[in-house]
Amino acid sequence: MKPFSVFVVLLMGFLLCGCAATPVPIAYGTDGCHFCSMTIVDRQHAAQIVTKKGKAFKFDAVECMVNHLKDLDVTTIGLLLVNDYPTPGELIDAKKATFLITKNIPSPMGEYLSAFSSRNEAEGIEAENKGELYSWEELLARFKTH
């Protein structure tokens, strides 16, 4: 292969990789919430939207992310991520998560909203703390984002 052809192939590969929708690490204590501008410090309630082009929007709470969805063209979204409450700092797919709203678990913006990767785990925490469980679609309906 000619050197120029190799260069073009490598350049195309880098460009394609650079535009992928992949999570961007949240710098807790440094990054600010895209919606409310508060510093993101809570590893159990943070969230992130990544566009199909790879731009990341970080949030201090799931409720900030859900409220920001009202201002976005949802066809541009590549990933919707939320922190898994039992595993602080671990981002999970929001569409597959189970959400719990209970006055016994405060969240940064006062909605008492937490996310769980496991429905069984969410049900266990709900049984101990009372509250209501939601799927992603039910949560969006509650916040009236559609």
Distance, CA of 55 to CA of 77 (rounded, Å): 9
pLDDT per position as a tens digit, 45-84: 999 999 999 999 999 999 999 999 998 999 999 999 999 9
Q: How many domains does the chain have?
A: 1
Question: For the chain, percent helix, then strand, then coil, each to nearest 5?
Answer: 35, 20, 45
pLDDT for the residue numbered 20: 73
47, 62 in Cβ contact below 8 A? yes
114 is in which domain, residue-wise?
A: 3-143
CA atoms within 13 A on the CB side of 18: 6
pLDDT for the residue numbered 144: 86
Helix (H) or strand (E) holding 51: strand 47-51
Buried b (16+ CB within 10 A) or exposed e, 94-129: beebbbbbbeebebbbebbbbbbbeeebbeebbeee
pLDDT for the residue numbered 2: 59
pLDDT per position as a tens digit, 58-69: 999 999 999 999
Q: Considering the entire predicted model, what is its pTM? A: 0.84
Any residues with CB less than 8 A from the CB of 6 and at least 6 apart, and which?
none
